[in-house]
Structure 1
């Protein structure tokens, strides 16, 4: 057997591993994108054994493989995930979600500017938009007019923190993610199968011209999708009726923040689905209910997602609201965000649940006191960093307590937004006790005792 047969045989034995790796990555991305209010169709696959063999034999004719290691370095798409966005204008935000969810090792953007430039300037040859294959005789007779394949590819690993117990081995699998609009993915499938995998002979110049024309229609369709997105944003922004789902809430937030010159290209909206579920339970899933909080957002959106900041402002020292938000967090609609509950896991989680409840009550008591100290008629608190600085300026807390209070705020954010599962219950209980003591100290000083 040659090196190609050896590699294909080994891959066939490992097929289930690569298929599972792709499915895990797909589940994580599907959940994260949907939670952020980004509409997309996410699919996955392990490379077909037959297609892998055909690809290797085709490449071997141009550059002979001498070892299995050489093939391993050349073939990097054994596990693949495809992200087909409804609205191409959300590409930047979707990329941010991908990078926040997976450990991206490499990225590539299409069309490559230099490739498209050569294809437009040369009348004697056409280089395809993907730039990975030599021009064929049919291509030589057609000068490409449109930019071709437009997408972003990422090669990524699944972080250990995203893997469930027993899935550790999938952390070594390199997964290729291909992100483009739904229209571009459809065109790419046709073009790829006809041009790179010809089963019935070489395409004619007229067929290449038709593919180019179809690409132009796809690019026009993407412009129409962007206009459709803007029209939907305008409808949701102007409507007084409740948001129908978290996608409409996300569209409203993007539109309003854009009007405030807030750049979301370096940030994500966060778990908009959880925020929507909370608002729906409170009968507040309307533009008029959310709008007043937008001016109070901090600007460190990269570290504090929009949905998390809005939730923090809305909870505002009210224990019943905190309980409602925690219910929304625990009932998130995406199965990949939840562990399968068992009797054993419930017993194991009991100390953590009790500690979290103790911490939330202590934090609510602190926020209630802060609300009293501000002597404001507003139902919501100003941003917490501002209040902490005011406490320090009024000498109600010491510089050391100010530093520790900011540490507690970070723990509070992890607790409320479901990221405190790695914090020992004893540490959370200690933090709750410290907060209770600080609350008593601040009240005593404020009362002049």
Structure 2
């Protein structure tokens, strides 16, 4: 008892520490869910001291060897800090789980119901449906003053809003009764409520499916990132196997802002773009690969995207100038390679493909390797995956400029230069790139 009392006093001193860690984790989750177009409510909490003491006493009584020190207690109690993701639609549990595993260092996953666990009363229904993740905040997601929270173990519970509400009732009344054990009649009512919740989840799944059908209509427009996310998940699930395309959706909210600015926020406008994306397995997520296809070769669209992505926050001047210099060289080079790749296939336009360039046999291998390296830098810069040193960026900017000059001269006989409205759609300069490339009918 003395040890447990010491533990409780120690925990009360640290409770604000756990509350802050929970808020940090919840903030990361909430932002990521919104960006990914997943509707949910996110809350956090530190373990209530009264409930914690009851739990520690019970766990200690169940142990063959009682706790010997406070370290053992801290290691045994996994939910001192908790985050709850309450989904509007239970069908989003898998998507939310993927997002949690991207955001955090996940140590353990528990899925409910646990079939091997015998219920404490005679249930007719299956009980609690959820997934729990025991995880740590990633150090690179925290600033210098927040690094102390990286070691905190956080339990992240993912379930539907309905299921979370029912589980709270059952948890408090059945497993932690404050006013004595419940009668058989009360237990039966709780079980009946579980049946109603499970029925409600089925109804919510049907509602989600109905919404999916609405947004896949050819004439449908996307009114929010949630509509766009629903459409993209459905499109990718229908057209690709999971092992072929990793469904890391990324910032769908940013993609929605871009297509809205370009007046492309409809199924009719976005579907041709999706059909032309190769969906490569690299560091870019789905949204980034779609964005790349939309902005390729267009200086205006690059600037629009960078403006939206920065949110008005200005980068450090030296780095910003270096990045600007690189794109001033890269965008016209990219436009040239796009025209070269699709010079004989005007209906299949968009971002050039390295493998296609290889098969064409026009460029030497060292040139193709140089292009691949420059595009890799372009990807990390445009999506802010990482920012190399400014002098390195400037060096690569000069490399891209020199390559553009050399290819323009060498390929003058390969690429016919015609006005933007010509039969094959090739243009004479990046600034002339038609805003409806990819045959999207897009407007700036």
Higher mean C-alpha displacement, 51-60 vs 310-319? 51-60
Indicate whether 1:315 and 2:295 are aligned. yes
Change (3 A) 1:408 1:112: farther
- 2: CA distance, partners of 1:408 / 1:305: 19
What residue is the counterpart of 2:392 in the other structure? 427
Change (3 A) 1:167 1:90: same
Asked whether the equivalents of residues 268 and 302 of structure 1 are also in contact (C-alpha less than 8 Å), the reply is no
What residue is the counterpart of 2:5 in the other structure? 5
What residue is the counterpart of 1:258 in the other structure? 237
Asked whether the equivalents of residues 276 and 348 of structure 2 are also in contact (C-alpha less than 8 Å), the reply is no
Q: What's the TM-score once normalised by structure 1's chain length?
A: 0.85
Asked whether the equivalents of residues 279 and 286 of structure 2 are also in contact (C-alpha less than 8 Å), the reply is no
Match of 1:362 among 329, 336, 361: 329
- 2: CA distance, partners of 1:252 / 1:43: 27
What residue is the counterpart of 2:90 in the other structure? 88
Asked whether the equivalents of residues 316 and 381 of structure 1 are also in contact (C-alpha less than 8 Å), the reply is no
- 1: CA distance, partners of 2:275 / 2:159: 33
What residue is the counterpart of 2:188 in the other structure? 209
Deviation of the 1:390 alpha carbon: 3.8
What residue is the counterpart of 2:115 in the other structure? 113
- 2: CA distance, partners of 1:402 / 1:11: 60
Indicate whether 1:229 and 2:230 are aligned. no
Q: What's the TM-score once normalised by structure 2's chain length?
A: 0.86
Asked whether the equivalents of residues 267 and 302 of structure 1 are also in contact (C-alpha less than 8 Å), the reply is no
Change (3 A) 1:81 1:203: same
- 2: CA distance, partners of 1:360 / 1:92: 38
The 5 A counterparts of 1:103-142 are 103-115=105-117, 127-128=118-119, 135=120, 139=121, 142=122
Structure 1: 5+ residue stretches without partners: 116-126, 129-134, 333-340
Asked whether the equivalents of residues 91 and 205 of structure 2 are also in contact (C-alpha less than 8 Å), the reply is yes
Asked whether the equivalents of residues 313 and 380 of structure 1 are also in contact (C-alpha less than 8 Å), the reply is no
Deviation of the 1:392 alpha carbon: 3.5
- 1: CA distance, partners of 2:139 / 2:190: 42
Change (3 A) 1:377 1:283: farther
What residue is the counterpart of 1:67 in the other structure? 69
2:316 is paired with a residue of what secondary structure? helix
Change (3 A) 1:429 1:375: same
Structure 2: 5+ residue stretches without partners: 415-444
Count of equivalent residues:
410
Asked whether the equivalents of residues 267 and 301 of structure 1 are also in contact (C-alpha less than 8 Å), the reply is no
- 1: CA distance, partners of 2:61 / 2:357: 73
- 2: CA distance, partners of 1:252 / 1:302: 22
The 5 A counterparts of 1:277-426 are 277-300=257-280, 303-331=283-311, 349-373=316-340, 374-375=342-343, 378=346, 381-384=349-352, 386=353, 388-421=354-387, 423-426=388-391
Deviation of the 1:301 alpha carbon: 5.4
Change (3 A) 1:395 1:261: closer
- 1: CA distance, partners of 2:384 / 2:351: 21
What residue is the counterpart of 2:410 in the other structure? 445
- 1: CA distance, partners of 2:142 / 2:287: 25
Deviation of the 1:65 alpha carbon: 2.4
Higher mean C-alpha displacement, 27-36 vs 393-402? 393-402
Asked whether the equivalents of residues 38 and 226 of structure 2 are also in contact (C-alpha less than 8 Å), the reply is yes
Asked whether the equivalents of residues 155 and 177 of structure 1 are also in contact (C-alpha less than 8 Å), the reply is yes
Q: C-alpha offsets along residues 32-87 of structure 1, whole Å, 9 cap, x if unaligned? A: 11111111111111112222222212323333323212211211111110011111
- 1: CA distance, partners of 2:72 / 2:235: 51
Deviation of the 1:247 alpha carbon: 0.7
- 1: CA distance, partners of 2:281 / 2:358: 25
- 2: CA distance, partners of 1:229 / 1:303: 30
